[in-house]
Every structure is written in structure tokens, then in C-alpha cells.
Amino acid sequence: MIDDLAKRLDEAALSRTAVAQFGADAGLDVPNAYAVQAALVARRRARGETVTGIKLGLTSRAKMVQMGVDEVIWGWLTDAMCVPDGGTVRLSEHIHPKVEPEVAFLVEGGAIAAVAPAIELIDSRYVDFRFTLPEVIADNTSASGFVVGPWRRVPDGIDNLGVLLEIDGRVAQVGSTAAILGDPRRALPQAVRLAGELRDGWVLLAGAAAAAVPLTPGAHVRVTVEQLGTASLRAAA
Ligand code: OOG
Ligand code: MG
């Protein structure tokens, strides 16, 4: 059952075709869902992808309300998902992608070594971006890509920095890093609790500071986090 569900989600991503929700039929619970997620990432590693970090999801009220799920979840980041800052994302390689403003941490020696503004690209493999908690976990928490802006040493007090998501220079979302677990630095102990050990050099995406916005052809997306700078991407058809 686990491998079959992992295959369904993997093939949905590869073929850019959303699948129907299957959690109820499969009797999926949270532990099984993380097993599906692990099997899904194992398939991708077998194709040559390398894990480069992890992400937290639903760490903010805005996202919990938007998605109707209210528990912190986590998933894997791989080298294939990394979009260079200012780089291009092809919509044709996704199903119905959205972007959300995030904060990224660089992990060294079990601690946070650096921080950067970030954009997460999420792309649920389920029809209409609708899912239950176990379903979104199985789907690697909708993770599809990420952009990390310039790293810098963590300034004092990053618990209430303004966050802006602009599309073509127009403000699409505003928020604060306070929305992320009250202080985004709490992402580290949460990630250790959920995922176990974090490796040196891994990226940790702390979660969105505001609701996600659909990505449309030609859109120029820019996330600015006060004191941390900007990260951007462009969407091509
Ligand atoms: C689930 C992933 C949530 C976040 O930052 O809260 C997430 C989804 O919204 O599809 O990545
Ligand atoms: Mg996210």
C-alpha cells in the first residue's frame, strides 16, 4: 500500500497530472503518511536526486486557515528542487504551483549558522489543492521548489521582521516573521523533533509567513524580509 501510494504521487508529479484524494480509501494515518513520503523521496533519490534539507509546513495561522489543516508538518528538499535566486520556474513542469514567502536557515553543527529570505514553490499533487493532514504529508507537504536569497549571519531579534510578497511589483501578501511559530528560530527545535537529526549544510525552510499565491505565466515574484533582503524568481510558461 505504502509503495503504491508513493508511486501514484510520484507519477502525478512527473506527468503534471493531479490525482484524486486517496486517504480515506487507503485508511491513511499520519505514521503511514510519513512512510509514503519516505518511499516517495526514496524513488526520487534512486533517480539521482540528493536531499539538501527539510521544510516545515503549516507553521503559521495564515497557512493553517488557508489549507484547513492545523498541525506542523515537514517534508524533504532536494537539489532538483533548488531554483537559483532570480531564476526561472517553468509552469509547464508543475500542476498548479503557488508561491509563499518564507525564511530559510542554514544548519551547521546542530545550530543555525545563517539566515536568508526565501520563496517556497508548492504544488499539491491532489486535485484542486485539497487534502487532509495525512494526504499532504504523503505528498511531501506539497513541496515543489525553493529559492534562497543571500545568506547572512542571524541578526539580533528576527522574531518580528516585516515580510512582503510582490508579484510584478505589486504587493500580494504582507506579513511578519512572527507569524512563523511566534519566532522563526523555533523552526530548528521543531525540525529536530519532527525529522530527527539535521545534517551540516542543510537548508531548513521555516514555513510561510503569509498565505500562498498562485503562480501565473510571466509573473515576477519577489519576497522581501526586513533586514534580510530579497529573493526572487520568474515564471515562464
Ligand atoms: C502545504 C504546505 C504548507 C507552509 O509553508 O506552510 C507549507 C500546502 O499549503 O499545500 O509549505
Ligand atoms: Mg511552505
Instruction: Please report where in the chains the cell 497530472 appears, as a residue.
Output: 17
Tell me what percent of the residues of the chain surpass a pLDDT of 70. Answer: 100
Cα 207 to ligand 2 centroid, rounded to whole Å: 4
Cα 157 to ligand 1 centroid, rounded to whole Å: 25
Q: Which pLDDT value is given to residue 142?
A: 98
Q: Which ligand is nearest to the CA of 118?
A: 2
21, 56, 63: which to mutate for ligand 1, most atoms within 8 A of CB? 63
76, 96, 105, 122: which to mutate for ligand 1, most atoms within 8 A of CB? 122
Average pLDDT, the chain: 97
| Whether pLDDT at 52 is above 90 | yes
Looking at 60-69, 185-194, 201-210, which range is the least confident one?
A: 60-69
40-54 mean pLDDT: 98
Looking at 67-71, 100-104, 113-117, 171-175, which range is the least confident one?
A: 67-71
Nearest to 173 by CA among 90, 26, 63: 63
Q: Which pLDDT value is given to residue 63?
A: 87
160-165 mean pLDDT: 98
Cα 72 to ligand 1 centroid, rounded to whole Å: 9
pLDDT tens-digit profile of 5-38?
999 999 999 999 999 999 999 999 999 999 999 9
* Positive or negative torsion for Cα 57, 58, 63, 69: positive
Cα 142 to ligand 1 centroid, rounded to whole Å: 6
**Under 8 Å between Cβ of 216 and 233:** no
Ligand 1, atom 9, residue with closest C-alpha: 67
| Whether pLDDT at 197 is above 90 | no
pLDDT tens-digit profile of 62-98?
888 888 888 899 999 999 999 999 999 999 999 999 9
Residue 97 three-state SS: coil
Cβ atoms within 10 A of the Cβ of 158, count? 22
Nearest to 138 by CA among 14, 57, 46, 32: 32
Q: Which atom number of ligand 1 is nearest to the Cα of residue 66?
A: 9
Domains of the chain with CATH codes: 2-236 (3.90.850.10)
* Positive or negative torsion for Cα 131, 231, 229, 173: negative
Nearest to 88 by CA among 207, 230, 228, 233: 233
Q: Which pLDDT value is given to residue 61?
A: 87
Tell me what percent of the residues of the chain surpass a pLDDT of 90. Answer: 95
**Under 8 Å between Cβ of 106 and 112:** yes
pTM attached to this predicted model: 0.97
**Under 8 Å between Cβ of 214 and 96:** yes
Residue 69 three-state SS: coil
**Under 8 Å between Cβ of 188 and 111:** yes
